[in-house]
Structure formats: C-alpha cells, structure tokens
Amino acid sequence: MADLDTTVWADEPIFVRDAVFQPIDTPTAVDEVARRIRQAIVLGVLRDGDRLPAETDLAQRIGVGVMTVRAALSELRADGLLETHRGRLGGSFVASSDTAVQTGIQDANVDRFRDVAELLGGLEAHAALRATQLANEDEMAVLAQLVAELERSDDAREASIINNRFHLTIASASRNRLLVAEISQRRAEIYAAAFAMTAIRLPLMPDNDSHVAIFAAMQAGEGLRASELMWEHHLATMTEVLDAAQ
C-alpha cells in the first residue's frame, strides 16, 4: 500500500488551510439549547419578564429531551438570565437581558469582531436582495411599522430591540431558514461583542436613516440597491464600533 501524500503545498491559501484544521468546538445539546435561548434574549425576541414555554413544549419544539432543556434552563438561571416562579402561573421567566449581553461574549477582540461584522454584512445584504423579491404585504407592513417606531423611539434599549426586529424581519422574508439562523446567531454575537469592546461608549440609538433608505429600496423593488445599502449600513456600524474601541 502506497504511503499517503502529506505534503502541504506552498501556494495553498493560508486561510483555507487554517479553516480546515482549526480546532473542533462542537457544543453539547445542553450548550446549544442554552445558546439559542440566550441569543433570543440578547436580540429582544424574548424580553425581560417574558415567560418561556413549558419544558415539555420547548423540548418538543427544539427536538431534544426534556432533561436537556431542564439542564439548559438551570444553566441560564445560574447565570442570572432566568428566574423560576412556582404556582399555577409559574414557570421560567426572563430575568435580565443586560446579563445575557454581558455573559454572551465569546471572543471580543478587534480581529474577531471585524470578521464577524463582514460576514454578517454579507449575509444581511443577500437577505435584503431576496426579501425585496419575496416579501409579502404583511412583512412589508411590519417593516414600515418598525421604521416608524424607530423614528419615534427615545429609549435606547427599546430602539435596539426594534432595530433587531427590523433586520430579522428582512432575514425571515428571504425564505431561507439557514440564512435566518446564521444571521440571528451572528447578530447576537456581534451585539454582545460591540458593547464589550467599547465598554458601552457607543451612541446607543440606532441610525434610522439607513433603515429608511433600505426599506424605500425594497418598496421600489430595487433589490440590488437594498442589498448595497444594507452592506453600507453594516460597514458604517462596524467602523463606528472599531473607532469607539480604540
């Protein structure tokens, strides 16, 4: 039997090689359930005081065992994200979205942030293109409402939730579940990292002018323009965070 060729070619793209041989970090089912719930809290899908579905309902919906869900909820309670109330109206409730942001940071360094920001920008630019082509009247009406709510909002926390809903609604309108899942995960990661890197020195109110322009392009059926505006929006946000992190 011939020996295997283990040569690493000198002209092989270094980033490709590094990606192939990077350490494997596969989370357990418990870690993944906890990550998804934490992500929902960071993005404002679950808000302070919201009650989570019953453990059996969560387990069935996510496709894991009840004991897995129970262990994940216990982990989140220990981190201060959830609290449990007993009785007929009891259950697991969101305790602190701020804690979710502060404890959800994996690697808040500049290089990691830049890589994730560029990835997210590309994903959301594509989502804007597809959403322009596929969004229905109800989804466009929701986007119009969110733009209007952002214009009126003077509360930073509420504005950030509306901002996330705007972006996630566009992602959802792309009709691509994998795209939605990836955008949701990366948005939660980058949101936490931005605050960690800047020690919350950022302007907390989202810039709504870019949202207005993106929505106007979608209304006009200009998918490429909406995609371009979404990419520019992400570049501007990335630059703002990196400048504040210096």
Over pLDDT 90: what percentage of the chain?
Answer: 51
**C-alpha of 79 from chain center:** 20
Q: What count of Cα atoms within 13 Å lies in the side-chain half-sphere of residue 228?
A: 6
Domain assignment of residue 24, yes or no: no
pLDDT tens by residue, 110-134: 888 899 999 999 999 999 999 999 9
Buried b (16+ CB within 10 A) or exposed e, 178-194: ebbebbbbbbbbbbbbb
pLDDT for 154 equals: 85
CA 144 to CA 149: how far, in whole Å?
9
Phi/psi for 93 (5° steps) reads: -125, 150
Q: Is 91 helix (H, G, I), strand (E, B) or coil?
A: strand
The amino acid that residue 13 corresponds to is P
Please give the pLDDT value at position 161: 85
Last residue of a domain, one of 50, 72, 102: 102
* Domain boundary residue, one of 86, 102, 118: 102
Domain that holds residue 88: 29-102
* Number of compact structural domains in the chain: 2
| Model confidence, pTM | 0.81
Same domain for 142 and 55: no
In CATH, what number is assigned to the domain containing residue 61?
A: 1.10.10.10
* Mean pLDDT (the chain, rounded): 85
Are 59 and 138 in a shared domain? Answer: no
Check pLDDT > 60 for residue 6: no
3-state SS class at 21: coil
Query: If you count them, how many residues does the chain have?
Result: 246
